[in-house]
Copies of this chain bind each other. A is one copy, B any other.
Amino acid sequence: MKGERTRQSILERAVDIASLEGLEGLTIGRLAKELQMSKSGLFAHFGSKEDLQLAAIESARVRFVDEVLRPALGAPRGYPRLMAICRAWLNYVGRGVFPGGCFFAAASFEFDGRPGAVRDAIASAMDQWVIALEKAVRLAKEEGHLDPRTDPAQIAFELNALFFGANFASQLRNDPSAIRRAEKAIEQRLESLRVKRSRTRPHVRRKTA
């Protein structure tokens, strides 16, 4: 369908603009002009500005999963996969997957003070991401690569915070050492939890409930 191709090209541009200027700064008129379309022609693909924002969030989520998370999930389960996810994230900002840095960091801080469906969609996407991080930590623990006392939710919180810190320093401050600093902090934090010698039975336990 040509309509679907047009819709996808609209959303790709919308996501790029929103990563730079925010989901509210994304206006129909501006988007139409950049795409050399009429406002109403563009708008025929979406019922409202809110629908466009929601579709852009979903489009950004798919791009993030395809470009960052999925490739990293190819690494061996446990510590290597966890580090692969972290390195993939740090790479993703500098690589320009979104031109304005992390779309979701920008969207999270833009909408955390507003109610509504857009905020809920951003919160849901971030929940999925943090849960994916927790899972990677939990698997590393279950593989016997991390200290059994490791709290996956705590470590996921800390990793996510360091990602935000890297995005901030590299986007606002243009600090070329931002990525290295975050990488160093992550390596040191995970190393502090690492179990060096391999256990006889790496799978310590399975969920009982």
Contacts and interface: CB of A to CB of B under 8 A. Distances in A.
Interface in A150-209: 153-154, 157-158, 160-162, 164-169, 171-173, 178, 181-182, 184-185, 192
Interface of A: 19-22, 24-25, 99-101, 105-106, 108-114, 119, 122-123, 126-127, 153-154, 157-158, 160-162, 164-169, 171-173, 178, 181-182, 184-185, 192
- The A interface is mostly helix, strand or loop, or mixed, namely helix
B113 A100 contact: yes
A207 B20 CA distance: 41
30 contacts: A19-B113, A20-B114, A22-B24, A22-B110, A22-B113, A101-B112, A101-B113, A106-B109, A106-B112, A106-B113, A108-B168, A109-B109, A109-B110, A109-B167, A110-B110, A112-B171, A119-B172, A123-B173, A126-B172, A157-B178, A157-B182, A158-B162, A158-B165, A158-B185, A161-B164, A161-B166, A164-B164, A164-B168, A165-B165, A192-B192
A25 B127 CA distance: 25
A114 B21 contact: yes
This chain: copies in complex: 2
A135 B157 CA distance: 26
Nearest to A156: B181
Nearest to A154: B181
A21 to B, nearest CB: 6
A125 to B, nearest CB: 10
Contacts of A184: 154
B113 A171 contact: yes
